[in-house]
Structure 1
Amino acid sequence: MSSPKQQDTISSIAEAMAPQSWSKVSCPCCVSSEVEPLVIIQLADNVESNTKEWIMAMISASHKSGGAHLLAHPGEDASWGRIVVAAPRCTLLRSTEELGLCKADKEGNMFLFSFHDRNNFINIDDMQKFLTLAERQYIVQHELESMRAVKDQRIPGIPGDKGILKSRQNIMQKLQKAGVIQDVFPLCDEKKLKALGKEWYLKKSLWGQPLDTINDYFGCSIAFYFSFLDFYTWALVPPAILGFLITFFLPGTPPTDEPKAENSTSGPGLLSADDDHLSVSSHMVQAAFSMVWSTVFMELWKRRSAALSYRWGTLTLTEHFQDPRPGFQGEVGINPVTGRREPLFPDWKRQMRVGLVSIPVVGLFLGLVVLGMVGFYYCESITASIHKTSGSIITATLSYLPSIIHIVYTNMLGNAYRTVALKLTEWENHREESAFQTNHTTKVLVFTFFNNFAVLFHIAIFKQDLHLLRKRLSSLLILSQVVNQFTEVVVPFVVDRFYSSSQKELKEDDPAADHMQAEGSLPPFPGLFLEYIELLVQFGYLSLFSCVYPLTAVLLLINNITEIRGDAFKICRLFRKPFSPPEASIGVWQAAFEVLAFFSVMTNCWLLFLAPRIKAYTQDVGLNPSTVLVFFIMVEHVLIVVKMILAFVIPDEPDWVQIKRQQIEYRTMKALTGQTVKHFQTTELPRS
């Protein structure tokens, strides 16, 4: 940890910079004696001073001139390899309207912000109160990425074709490809970050998280993730209590004489594959509870998400025509929608790339999943035969070795596939950032579902071996517990203790410049993609298969309690502060969780049909298997209807949020009507 003298903040950096060195603003209302540094642009070491001056001029230029209408500061001197960027008041306000953010009016109600009606909102003269730090920094990033050349020109100090800038070409993208700009990242505020850490991962209480403070500092997307993680973790308490009671306290039934499958083995303790201690009622209670719980959980989360989006001003985010994302490539032409010159890429070429390359590569990886599953069954049969011959405790323990090896294999395959999926999506060359994220997420979700659940579904549907299914599920959960505890607790502590702290040491001669140097040395935040994948797999284990292993929720609850603190510690201490766009929910991940909740009805009904105790019970009353299967199919359809009724009965938004949304829509409609009428009144030609 650095000393108190070394704990620098954004405000101290601002004080260290000469106010007269900031670029000038033309708008009188934006003139201020204090400027808040928000973003750092890291330049290459060999960038000439005239190139840096040109970049600063474009950053401070107006939108009509292709600039970002921001404030730029050269730092220590013209040769310093960084540019510090701030935002004037008008740029922040106009971007707030463009993004479709809601802000509090003078009566405290959240309404869609309008620059024309700005005086009716509170804190309009104090941007640090009007917008969160994350919003201000994202607006700067948004404006920087929107810079486009208005004519063909050459960038000073860059020789050859790298320095040629064509009309309507993205300036930031061009500078990054030319190697002039190496990185762009938001400045952190050590004072706010330290205060956030004390009430987040350092607090003694396990309940609750400072979600509003997280949103203020890190932004909506990160705040929504931690809100969902917190909500999901404490929603695990009821199924954990039920699973604990079923496993250790509810009465079971005496063993049956039904033989086990040849490849089923019994293990010690909680990993026992013996299914006989669960009674018929225990199976039914656990299965029915999992189906209802998954639906109620998702519906209640939607209500919580709607309330948070209203509180954070993202309830009615604007859907607008998107500019090309920075990584988009193509031949410069006239966009038929906007009429502007920009890179164009035919849709048929993208579809050819998807159909002829992306889909076959995804199919190849799915084939590798099947190959691993075949190897798992082969090793499982060998260990089962060895255990059947010896029957010792050692062979019983070794019988879990195939599951462990296969789990390691699937994890390695998953890591390799995620890298390939990202490269494939980049090569497909999607124009909009939303299309890129949707295609990338879809690829990963398809593989993740198949990679993590294919073996479990095959055991349940085709092999119909609940003993093996329980052993496999318990191995997955306990191994993932060990790995997660190591990665979430041990690794972050070691990295922070022996690596990150040395990178954060600041000098005494120029703390402002050294603070920026320390931030730039930290690795970029990898995003929340893998974190959501982990929660999705957890949710699948619990909702789809927990009736064969009731302690699933118990193990997940223990894991997630440390997961909250571990994730908070990592994002605060081990990574550079990320940009965070405004979000109204967890997006596509919510749909993925709902799909798993729907499938939970079918899997739980099928597992009930295969349960040995239920089979024995139906045989005792003289029912044949076909009749029982028809009965369970009918029950499945009834439960699906029940889930649909529950989803309908529980509104996605609380009543007060629905009223607020209608108020926002009504006020927006009235404001647009008023502006339209005024526009026609001022532009109407005089009659003769």
Structure 2
Amino acid sequence: MTLLGSKGVDQTQNLFQGSWTKVSCPCCVSDQVEPLVLIRLSEKVQPITKRWLISLIETSERHGGAALLAHPGEDECGDVIVVSAPRCTLLKATEDLGLCKKYQDGDMIAFSYQDRDNFSNVDDMQEFLTLAERQYIVKNELDSLQAQKKQKIPGIGDATGVLQAWENVCQKLVKAGVIKDIFPLHDQQKLKELGKKWYSGKQIWGQPLDEIHSYFGGTVAFYFSFLDFYTWSLVPCAFLGVFFTFLMSGVGSSVEVMEKQANERVMGDGDGPSVSGHMVQAVFSMLWSTLFMEFWKRRSSSLSYRWGTLQLSEGFAEPRPGFHGTQGINPVTGRMEPLFPEWKRQLRVGLVSVPIVGLFMGLVVVGMTGFYYGEALAKGFHQDSGSWFSKGLLYLPSVVHIVYTNMLGNVYSTVAMQLTEWENHREESSFQNHHTTKVLLFTFFNNFAVLFHIAFYKQDLVLLRKRLASLLIVTQLVNQCTEVLVPFIVDCFVKATQKKQQEDDPEVDKLRAQNLPCFPGLFSEYIELLVQFGYLSLFSCVYPLTAVFLLINNVMEIRGDSYKICKLFRKPFSAPVSDIGVWQTAFEVLSFVSVMSNCWLLLLSPRVQEFCLEGGISSTNILLFAILVEHVLILVKMILAFMIPDEPDWVRIKREQMEFYSMQALGQQKL
């Protein structure tokens, strides 16, 4: 039995012909089978257990199966199961997910299984659905497997082999040690072609976003689209920073300029243009952050329409993998599933999670205190010595504190994940929101507490400038080394023998060899961009070269991240998404905070304070004037956000057409 007509099927697919489980639907039968997902089993798994799992995978959904296709690999004694999906399963899942596909008139509309024959390429799954969508559907169907009744898993003798009614099958098999991994398979030919366009080519501007979306899915594609948009949006900020730093500060090396500005207390007794430049830089940063976010929303909606995720369905959420509790009847669905009281979850959050988050914030304060103590020691030593060596030591406290905050952040990220798992949230969205909130709260405090303390409590703008320079240089060097250089060295040298051995392996062994390290996800990547955005929008008026450093870093980041996801890690499952999610809100919040930050930094400028004193303006009036300017700028940002629609007109029209067609289809179904 063969399945899923396709173009350019590789030799791996030919290996499996004739050994796949059968499909009863005539419309699903075609010439080729496409291996999509690999289930890696324990080496000690019994053949009877493997046969039972394969039969469960192929059983129809009506009888408690996944309605997928399975292949045992070399034989029933092997430790892998290759999984594919028939046409009907893919099409029904496309409707359930709310994906939009190209209709016969060329427009993108929400897919309807009942009206499937009027959609383009509906008979060719490799054209109709992207590789990432097909693999996500298979994973989603496997995750939804639930036992219809209490039963014993064949081949497992102890109590771990008892499957309770409505218990999640895959979770149970993972706990029982039967399943070790489930991961999507790489298509080596497509991956090679994508690499040539992405990180191996000479193209600097732009990325092959459609190919990225097709191969890696919406989550990855939206991240790289945002990274690309953000990186090239830094160009005007970088030009402005260079202009005010060098051209308006006189000709000379950057070191001389910085020394001169440091001696003048950053915005002090220099000539007028330098102060005007900082003011222009501050106002420009505030307006730029608003324009950047508004135009990104427009780009995001355009990509969402193009990729068919503009109207993703938001149905009743199933329990996420990992959710556990006492078996009972869900009052909403009437089905048996794990139940966990909400009051217990809130108790865990309030009595355990919140104090632990507070403890880590206390460690941030401890690190900040140590930084100030080291700063005082370094200054005292430099005053006594006055040598070049002691001058270099002035930067040591900042470097040590940066390393400390990075290490603390890494430890906290692990703790935050474990805490959120322990809180036992039922829905995946709730889990992600709680986890993201914990990490964002700590990240903001960990990265910006010292800067705000230096700027607004100590009011030491020279130290603030030095701290920003250290952060931008040291943090970016550390990130590039840990994210790309170290994995690249491991990939080139440690795995060289293993790769050479794989060249002579059978095709099934090549599939098994795709079990690379698990992709760590994009959470840390978004955190890095958010911290960058904070440095730029909150403090760039103190250090105008911020955008220059960020632009250089991000140009390398695009290539580094693309190489990393293609070569160094296992292919991740990627859910269809319509935007970057909660991260967009986080960036917008920082954009508003930047107004207050820049206004108060300008108020602290010695030149501004001197001008106010010469004019006889009291400190109270200065404060009231700063508050007035702050509110005016916030109003300007709000007006700009209101005037720039979140969607281009053509996307709005297409979305309204989709809604109209959906209402029509619903009305016809009721009739």
TM-score normalised by structure 2 residue count: 0.95
> Deviation of residue 484 (structure 1)?
3.0
Q: Deviations over 1:216-239 (max 9, x none)?
A: 000000000000000000000000
CA distance, structure 2, for counterparts of residue 632 and residue 91 of structure 1? 62
Q: 1:181 to 1:268 in 2, by over 3 A?
A: farther
Q: 1:245 to 1:267 in 2, by over 3 A?
A: closer
Q: Is the 8 A contact 1:38 1:85 kept in 2?
A: yes
Q: 1:510 to 1:471 in 2, by over 3 A?
A: closer
Q: Deviations over 1:204-251 (max 9, x none)?
A: 121010000000000000000000000000000000000000000015
> Deviation of residue 21 (structure 1)?
1.5
CA distance, structure 2, for counterparts of residue 465 and residue 73 of structure 1? 67
Residue in 2 that maps onto 1:533: 527
> Deviation of residue 546 (structure 1)?
0.6
Moved more, 616-625 or 181-190: 616-625
Residue in 2 that maps onto 1:145: 143
> Deviation of residue 495 (structure 1)?
2.5
CA distance, structure 2, for counterparts of residue 418 and residue 541 of structure 1? 21
2:475 aligned to which of 450, 475, 480: 480
2:541 aligned to which of 547, 552, 555: 547
1:385 aligned to which of 380, 383, 396: 380
> Deviation of residue 433 (structure 1)?
1.1
Question: Residue 183 of structure 1: SS of its match in structure 2?
Answer: strand
Q: How does 1:142-221 map to 2 (within 5 A)?
A: 142-221=140-219
Q: Is the 8 A contact 2:246 2:257 kept in 1?
A: no
> Deviation of residue 140 (structure 1)?
0.1
The unaligned stretches of length 5 or more in structure 1 are 1-8, 254-265, 678-688
Residue in 2 that maps onto 1:300: 295
Residue identity matched to 1:475: S
Instruction: Report whether the alignment pairs 1:273 with 2:262.
Output: yes
Q: Deviations over 1:459-479 (max 9, x none)?
A: 111111111111111111111
> Deviation of residue 28 (structure 1)?
1.3
CA distance, structure 1, for counterparts of residue 652 and residue 497 of structure 2? 51
Residue identity matched to 1:639: L
The unaligned stretches of length 5 or more in structure 2 are 1-7
Q: Is the 8 A contact 1:298 1:594 kept in 2?
A: yes
> Deviation of residue 489 (structure 1)?
4.8
Identity among equivalent pairs (%) = 64
Q: Is the 8 A contact 2:145 2:168 kept in 1?
A: yes
Q: Deviations over 1:258-280 (max 9, x none)?
A: xxxxxxxx987757734145722
Residue identity matched to 1:273: A
Q: Is the 8 A contact 1:86 1:140 kept in 2?
A: yes
CA distance, structure 1, for counterparts of residue 353 and residue 498 of structure 2? 40
1:639 aligned to which of 622, 626, 633: 633
Q: 1:179 to 1:488 in 2, by over 3 A?
A: closer
Question: Residue 322 of structure 1: SS of its match in structure 2?
Answer: coil
Q: 1:629 to 1:252 in 2, by over 3 A?
A: farther
Q: Is the 8 A contact 1:187 1:577 kept in 2?
A: yes
Residue in 1 that maps onto 2:4: none
Q: 1:10 to 1:577 in 2, by over 3 A?
A: farther
Question: Residue 82 of structure 2: SS of its match in structure 1?
Answer: strand
Residue identity matched to 2:61: H
Question: Residue 168 of structure 1: SS of its match in structure 2?
Answer: coil
Residue identity matched to 1:467: V
Aligned residue pairs: how many?
655
Q: How does 1:347-426 map to 2 (within 5 A)?
A: 347-426=342-421
> Deviation of residue 332 (structure 1)?
0.5
CA distance, structure 2, for counterparts of residue 500 and residue 215 of structure 1? 29
Q: Deviations over 1:475-512 (max 9, x none)?
A: 11111232233335532431231134444335566531
TM-score normalised by structure 1 residue count: 0.93
Q: How does 1:503-652 map to 2 (within 5 A)?
A: 503-505=498-500, 507=502, 510-520=505-515, 522-652=516-646
> Deviation of residue 252 (structure 1)?
7.2
Q: Is the 8 A contact 1:267 1:396 kept in 2?
A: no
1:341 aligned to which of 321, 332, 336: 336
Question: Residue 79 of structure 1: SS of its match in structure 2?
Answer: coil
Residue in 1 that maps onto 2:15: 16
Q: Is the 8 A contact 1:267 1:273 kept in 2?
A: no
Q: Deviations over 1:600-636 (max 9, x none)?
A: 0000000000012212222222222222221111000
Q: Deviations over 1:44-86 (max 9, x none)?
A: 0111001000000000001121110000111111101000100
Moved more, 366-375 or 266-275: 266-275
Question: Residue 505 of structure 1: SS of its match in structure 2?
Answer: helix
Residue in 2 that maps onto 1:682: none
2:649 aligned to which of 630, 655, 677: 655
Q: 1:317 to 1:389 in 2, by over 3 A?
A: same
Instruction: Report whether the alignment pairs 1:91 with 2:89.
Output: yes
Question: Residue 205 of structure 1: SS of its match in structure 2?
Answer: coil
Residue in 1 that maps onto 2:3: none
Q: 1:39 to 1:538 in 2, by over 3 A?
A: same
Q: 1:508 to 1:368 in 2, by over 3 A?
A: closer
Q: Which runs of 4+ in 1 moved over 6 A?
A: 266-269
Residue identity matched to 1:663: Q
Q: How does 1:440-459 map to 2 (within 5 A)?
A: 440-459=435-454
Q: Deviations over 1:95-122 (max 9, x none)?
A: 0000000000011110000000111100
CA distance, structure 2, for counterparts of residue 366 and residue 454 of structure 1? 10
Question: Residue 548 of structure 1: SS of its match in structure 2?
Answer: coil
Q: Is the 8 A contact 1:286 1:546 kept in 2?
A: yes
Instruction: Report whether the alignment pairs 1:75 with 2:70.
Output: no
Q: Deviations over 1:552-599 (max 9, x none)?
A: 000000000000000000000000111000000000000000000000
CA distance, structure 2, for counterparts of residue 91 and residue 668 of structure 1? 22
Residue identity matched to 1:643: K
Question: Residue 41 of structure 1: SS of its match in structure 2?
Answer: strand
Residue identity matched to 1:672: L
CA distance, structure 1, for counterparts of residue 526 and residue 559 of structure 2? 16
2:49 aligned to which of 48, 51, 58: 51
Aligned-residue CA RMSD (Å): 1.7
Q: Is the 8 A contact 1:488 1:562 kept in 2?
A: no
Residue identity matched to 1:11: D
Question: Residue 40 of structure 1: SS of its match in structure 2?
Answer: strand
